[in-house]
């Protein structure tokens, strides 16, 4: 068999097996462009959450920290109102969570129906609870970011929207909300596109391998089709491509082939997870070095007076974190408004962000003694259609070493947390994925609706390409149907 014949056979057989999956990827991509996966955003949480009253709300913080300390070490503490009680949640360096009632120091125990009603009341919009169920996961909470909060109370609310709230049994936080409309659209959108079926997605390693291999083979299928199309064009010209059997498939290949190839390859790239490019993860040891040591009882013995931080508005969350050995108390009123004090100093005027000097000093523990520069990520670039409102209002800080092969660190500008390690390979990964998969490039980023419409059109063409390919593959070379 000639090389040309081998490529044709490979393209046809792989297309028959994976063509339906590629078809669904394109169609679900159209839905996902217009209806995002449901989530309880930070803005929604701040709008619904009750304001803290710090007067006589809490037992001493040192005793709370002593009770919450774990062998893994505390990375941060946060104080919130949960129902009608203040709760302190400790996040360990390994990502696990533990919570106690701040007014009594008692560990949170099993919830009663009445207790759950108090917790969800600010988020329910006056709707009644119809059903409460304790679950490990479902299709809307299967992502690993919910793991520290499991098991979850699933709370069905009354009303035409059929809203469902999810409450952590560990911290009593409301961590997710969905409506019936979101669930309907996302069953044919994000769930199909990301293969978020719970039986597969809850096993991250299996899901990672399955989707990576399917998208890799799908990319090979599309590239093989492009090679066949190129050979046909070189041999017969345009007229030969648009006549005869399979002309619809070839015509759609001309129109959408490059976009389909870019989307398949970049979709495969999204599942890289450290295979070819570094994953950028900041591990527990690095986070502890960035902090200048884990948070301990000694760090919270001399706390600033919270009342100074309450002057600028109702505080919904107080967060304690540590950077370069300096404890910071962050009082947050909204995603974009906060006040920051350092402990033990109480004389300083609250600032609206962690200082660049402290962030740079903390980053030096990971990046070495080279000269460092700090900037707001994307401050010289056009706004991104993929960015959230929070990213726009409070951009990430990027700390980098100088030189051609610069290394860097991405830091959350709101709470001073190290988010991602950067190097030339990781930057290339972001550039490839953002440009090829999201079409997040300068001109289109300024015209988000036009970008979505163009991407939707090309997704439909890609779906047509996949569907016509499956149909063509089910027919013999002379147009006869395959035997059944």
Three-state helix/strand/coil letters over 47-75:
HHCCCCCCCCCCCCHHHHHHHHCCCCCEE
- pLDDT exceeds cutoff 70 at 395: no
pLDDT, tens digit (0-9, with 9 covering 90-100), for 269-324: 999 999 999 999 999 999 999 999 999 998 888 666 565 555 567 899 999 999 99
Separation between Cα atoms, residue 466 and residue 437, nearest integer Å: 18
Sheet strands (E) in 272-423: 317-323, 326-334, 337-343, 372-376, 397-401, 408-412, 417-422
- Report residue 371 as tokens: 């000269």
pLDDT confidence bin for 246, thresholds 50/70/90: confident
Is the CB of residue 334 less than 8 Å from the CB of residue 372?
A: no
Backbone angles phi, psi at 222, to 5 degrees: -65, -40
What is the arithmetic mean of pLDDT over 176-195? 97
Average pLDDT over the chain reads 87
pLDDT, tens digit (0-9, with 9 covering 90-100), for 420-470: 999 999 999 999 999 999 998 888 888 889 999 999 999 999 999 999 999
- Report residue 463 as tokens: 């779906």
- pLDDT exceeds cutoff 70 at 28: yes
What pLDDT is stored for residue 483 in this prediction?
A: 44
pLDDT, tens digit (0-9, with 9 covering 90-100), for 259-280: 899 999 999 999 999 999 999 9
Cis amide prior to 151 (ω within 30 degrees): yes
pLDDT confidence bin for 479, thresholds 50/70/90: very low
- Report residue 326 as tokens: 């300096």
What pLDDT is stored for residue 54 in this prediction?
A: 64
What pLDDT is stored for residue 176 in this prediction?
A: 97
Separation between Cα atoms, residue 476 and residue 1, nearest integer Å: 18
- pLDDT exceeds cutoff 60 at 241: yes
What pLDDT is stored for residue 64 in this prediction?
A: 86
pLDDT, tens digit (0-9, with 9 covering 90-100), for 68-102: 988 889 999 999 999 888 999 999 999 999 999 98
The closest of 324, 446, 430 to 382, measured between CA atoms, is 446
pLDDT confidence bin for 481, thresholds 50/70/90: very low
Sheet strands (E) in 335-416: 337-343, 372-376, 397-401, 408-412
Separation between Cα atoms, residue 290 and residue 365, nearest integer Å: 6
């Amino acid at each position: 068999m000639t090389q040309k014949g081998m490529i044709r056979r490979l393209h046809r057989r792989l297309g028959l097996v994976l063509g339906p999956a590629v078809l669904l990827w394109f169609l679900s991509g159209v839905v996902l462009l217009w209806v995002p996966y449901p989530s309880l955003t930070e803005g929604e949480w701040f709008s619904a959450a009750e304001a803290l009253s710090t007067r006589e709300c809490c037992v001493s913080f040192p005793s709370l920290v002593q009770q919450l300390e774990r062998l893994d070490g505390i990375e941060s503490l946060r104080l919130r109102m949960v129902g009608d009680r203040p709760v302190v949640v400790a996040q360990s360096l390994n990502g696990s969570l533990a919570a106690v009632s701040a007014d009594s120091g008692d560990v949170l125990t099993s919830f009663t129906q009445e207790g759950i009603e108090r917790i969800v009341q600010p988020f329910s919009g006056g709707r009644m609870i119809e059903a409460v169920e304790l679950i490990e996961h479902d299709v809307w909470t299967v992502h690993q970011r919910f793991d520290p909060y499991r098991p979850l109370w699933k709370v069905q609310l009354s009303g035409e929207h059929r809203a469902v709230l999810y409450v952590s049994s560990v911290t009593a936080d409301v961590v997710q909300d969905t409506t019936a409309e979101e669930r309907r659209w996302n069953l044919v959108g994000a769930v199909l596109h990301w293969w978020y079926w719970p039986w597969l997605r809850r096993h991250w390693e299996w899901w990672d391998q399955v989707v990576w291999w399917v998208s890799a083979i799908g990319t090979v299928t599309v590239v093989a089709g492009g090679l066949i199309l190129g050979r046909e064009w070189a041999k017969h010209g345009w007229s030969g491509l648009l006549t005869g059997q399979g002309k619809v498939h070839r015509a759609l290949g001309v129109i959408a082939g490059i976009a389909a190839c870019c989307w398949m390859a970049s979709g495969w790239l999204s599942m890289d997870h450290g295979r070819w490019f570094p994953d950028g993860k900041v591990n527990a040891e690095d986070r502890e070095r960035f902090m200048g040591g884990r948070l301990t009882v000694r760090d919270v013995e001399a706390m600033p007076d919270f009342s100074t931080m309450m002057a600028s508005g109702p505080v919904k969350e107080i967060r304690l974190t540590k950077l370069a050995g300096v404890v910071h108390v962050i009082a947050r009123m909204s995603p974009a408004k906060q006040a920051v004090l350092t402990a033990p100093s109480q004389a300083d005027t609250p600032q609206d962000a962690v200082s660049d000097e402290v962030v740079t000093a903390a980053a030096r523990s990971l990046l070495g003694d080279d000269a460092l520069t700090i900037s707001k990520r994307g401050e010289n670039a056009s706004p991104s259609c993929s960015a959230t409102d929070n990213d726009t209002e409070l951009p990430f800080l990027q700390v980098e070493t100088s030189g051609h092969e610069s290394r860097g660190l991405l830091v959350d500008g709101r709470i001073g947390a190290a988010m991602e390690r950067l190097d030339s390979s990781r930057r290339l990964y972001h550039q490839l994925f953002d440009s090829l998969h999201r079409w997040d490039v300068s001109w289109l980023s300024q015209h988000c609706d036009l970008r979505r419409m163009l991407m939707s059109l090309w997704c439909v063409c890609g779906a047509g390409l996949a569907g016509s390919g499956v149909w063509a593959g089910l027919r013999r070379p002379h147009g006869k149907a395959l035997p059944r």
